[in-house]
Chain A
Amino acid sequence: MNFIWALFRREVKSYFVSPLAYTAIAVFLAIQGVLFVAALGQYQSLRIQAAQNPLVQLPGAEVLIRDFFGADVLWALIMIVPLLTMRLLADERRQYTAELLLTAPMSTRQLIVGKYLGSVLVLLVMLTMALWMPMLILAWGDADPGVLLAGLLGAFLYGSFLLALGLLASSLTENPFIAAILALMFIAGVTWIGVQAANLPVIGRNLDQFTPASNLADLAQGVVDSHALVYFASVVIFVLELTARVVD
């Protein structure tokens, strides 16, 4: 546990002394902000339509929060995660510090988990900083705070899964740039498989349970069930285990 803590602390410090974490967080907030403003505008015009035409039904303001933590966060994270994970293991090799870590009396799993948790903390900071936008809806709209919490949890779990994929990508090369591209490809691949699976007739609906996007969608709708929690926990553990094997 001490090893993991030491690695975690070093990782977090290293994120916040370099411009990397700040850049990633800024870009994330910008993407989320733009999408949020666009959604607000759309909702506004919908409201005007609904006022003029009784046939148009106005959805509750919750829909804004759902989109914020659903489709929006999905896109923003795809862009940001590779930035956050590209250096995690690739740089250790490039700087030869891998030799320091791998000759220390700790297991590879401890190494991977420590580094991974460091990146998860940055994700948490990032999501927390974006939180004020949906909070506006809570303050001035008629939304359910439960939806916000479920959405936040969903975005966090989904982001954590993508970070694990990014870490795996980073273990495969010593060039951070290639690691970022690989991470992007992994994430795009997983997303694409999810979309394809959902489109398959009949079995699609069953397969859909196994895609990260659909699990995120449930949570974004405000439905917290143990299925999604178990799902994300197990895929993260699986990917981290794979990474540990690669490093060994």
Chain B
Amino acid sequence: MIEIEDLYKVYGQVQAVRGISFTVYRGEILGFLGPNGAGKSTTMKVMTGLTPPTAGRVRIAGHDVLEDPLAVRREIGYLPEHPPLYPEMTVSDYLDFAAAIRAVPRRRRRRAVESAIERCGLEEVRRRLVGNLSKGFRQRVGLAQAVIHDPRLLIFDEPTVGLDPTQVIEIRSIVRDIGRERTVILSSHVLPEVQATCHRVVIIDRGRVVAAGPIDELLEAGKGGRLVVRLRRPPAQIDDLRSLPGVGAVEGRGEGRYSFVVPGDDDVRERLVAELVARGYGPLEVRPEANSLEEVFKEVVTTERAQAEAVA
């Protein structure tokens, strides 16, 4: 759906994007992740045709953003970093206007507005002025504006930034709902955001892609091979645990919790639990220590930076 090849964007002296390439496939929700100032918004602006690339190619549904900007614009719905709202209009007037400039034919406009209002949960505020709405509702109006013409591709630039936790959950569920039958690319600098909504992530830092892949795979890649174990009747001596099959080092975490280092690729959980029961320790919980995406992200970004500095 989106093909980005070796994209560069330079603003005066600043190289905002330095050779980014990735592909977004039809029907997926892609998380576009990076610290602030990594070049996320810039890349998204190039995708929408708001700003031309300095070098490289961006194709949206087969149309080049430079050669056929109008065709590109017809394919996309875009929610910029700041929702583009007219404070003096009512929600339904605003959406009607958005539908008109998105080339929704007049006879289908009312239906388009209704379905956007319903999808984004705006029924109760449809007659209110946009300028008087809470931040959460404004963001929803921004989302409604992006889906009004039923585009195949949606580009959301930090859709939940600055919202309170309840609003964040609501917006995420709307985004997931929208992503059911469409392609979505969603940028964020907060990881739980991406973990909660996306199938795949592309992580960028300082204008370059530093990691890309399905979320599970990225988590796997960072796996340290640790198990968290909780015991009802732990042995008096922690050393007794080190003799367990397949276990390397053991760290006590207090209250019967332990962290086992499990070297090797074999899954030792079954044997381990049998042994724990046999010894009468009363295992309550055995689970792999989840590597949060947060850690992966930090790790990827810092190692990449270290390498870059080593080269320089």
- Chain A residue numbers with a CB within 8 Å of B70 are 105-107
A14 touching B86, Cβ below 8 Å = yes
- On whether the beta carbons of B85 and A105 are closer than 8 Å, the reply is no
Q: Say yes or no for A230: interface residue by CB 8 A criterion.
A: no
> Count of A residues near B, CB < 8 Å?
24
Q: Which one of B5-13, B76-84, B163-171, B198-206 is at the interface?
A: B76-84
Nearest Cβ on chain B to A110's Cβ, whole angstroms:
9
Contact at A100–B87, with CB atoms within 8 Å?
no
Are A105 and B103 closer than 8 Å at their CB atoms?
A: yes
Among residues of B, the one whose C-beta sits closest to the C-beta of A114 is B101
Cβ 8 A contact of B89, one of A3, A14, A96, A105: A14
The answer to whether A106 and B101 touch across the interface, beta carbons within 8 angstroms, is: yes
Contact of B100 among A6, A13, A99 (CB under 8 A): A6
Of residues 99 through 151 on chain A, the ones whose CB sits less than 8 Å from some CB of chain B are 99-107
Q: How far, in angstroms, from A100 to B106 measured CA to CA in the complex?
A: 19
Q: Which of A10, A17, A99, A106 contacts B97 (CB 8 A)?
A: A10
Interface residues of A in 176-201 (CB under 8 A from B): none
User: Considering the chains assembled together, what is the distance between the CA atoms of A101 and B74 in angstroms?
Assistant: 13
Q: Which of A17, A102, A107 has the most CB of B within 10 A?
A: A102
Report B71 CB to chain A, min CB distance, Å. 8
* CB nearest neighbor in A for B98: A100
Tell me, in angstroms, the Cα distance from A180 to B246 when the chains sit together: 77
Total of A-B residue pairs, C-beta within 8 Å: 67
Residues of B100-124 at the interface with A, using a CB-CB cut-off of 8 Å, are 100-103, 106
Contacts of A96 in B (CB 8 A): 80-84
Chain B hits for A52, CB < 8 A: none
Beyond A2-B106, A106-B101, whether A99 also contacts B86 by CB under 8 A is no
Q: What number of B residues sit within 8 Å (CB to CB) of A?
A: 27
Answer yes or no: A7 CB below 8 A from chain B CBs: yes
A2→B105 CA distance, assembly (Å):
9
CB–CB B100/A95 < 8 A: no
Q: State whether A103 touches B76 (Cβ < 8 A).
A: yes
Contact A99 B89 (CB under 8 A): no
**With the chains together, A96 CA to B80 CA distance in Å?**
8
B64 CB, min distance to chain A CBs, angstroms? 15
User: In the complex, what residues of A have CB within 8 A of residue B84's CB?
Assistant: 95-100
A2-B106, A96-B80 known; A101 vs B101 contact (CB < 8 Å): yes
A18 within 8 A of partner (CB): yes
A3 to B106, CA, bound (A): 11
- Asked whether B196 is an interface residue with its Cβ less than 8 Å from the other chain, the reply is no
Main secondary structure of the interface of A (DSSP, over half): helix
Which B residue sits closest to A91, measured CB to CB?
B86
Among the interface residues A9, A95, A98, A103, which one has the most CB atoms of the partner chain B within 10 A?
Answer: A103
**Which residues from chain B contact A3 at a C-beta distance below 8 Å?**
100-101, 103
Q: Are B85 and A95 neighbours in the complex by a CB distance under 8 Å? A: yes
Known A99-B50, A102-B50: A7·B101 in contact at CB below 8 Å: yes
Residues of B within 8 A of A103 (CB): 48-50, 73, 76, 78
**B86: which A residues are within 8 A, CB to CB?**
10, 14, 95, 97
**Chain A residue with Cβ nearest B77:** A103
Write the chain B residue with the least CB distance to A14. Answer: B88
Distance from B73 Cβ to chain A, minimum over Cβ atoms (Å): 4
B110 to chain A, nearest CB (A): 14
A104 in contact with B89 (CB, 8 Å): no
A105 with B97: in contact, given A98-B84, A99-B84 (CB under 8 Å)? no
Would you call B43 an interface residue if the criterion is a C-beta within 8 Å of the partner chain's C-beta atoms?
no
A2 nearest in chain B by CB position:
B100
Within 8 A of B (CB), among A1-45: 2-3, 5-7, 9-10, 13-14, 17-18
Those 3 A-B pairs whose CB atoms lie nearest each other, nearest first: A6-B100, A100-B84, A104-B101
User: Which B residues fall within an 8 A CB radius of A?
Assistant: 48-50, 70, 73-74, 76, 78, 80-89, 93, 97-98, 100-103, 106, 145
Extra contacts besides A3-B100, A104-B73 (6): CB < 8 Å: A2-B100, A3-B103, A10-B97, A97-B84, A99-B50, A103-B78
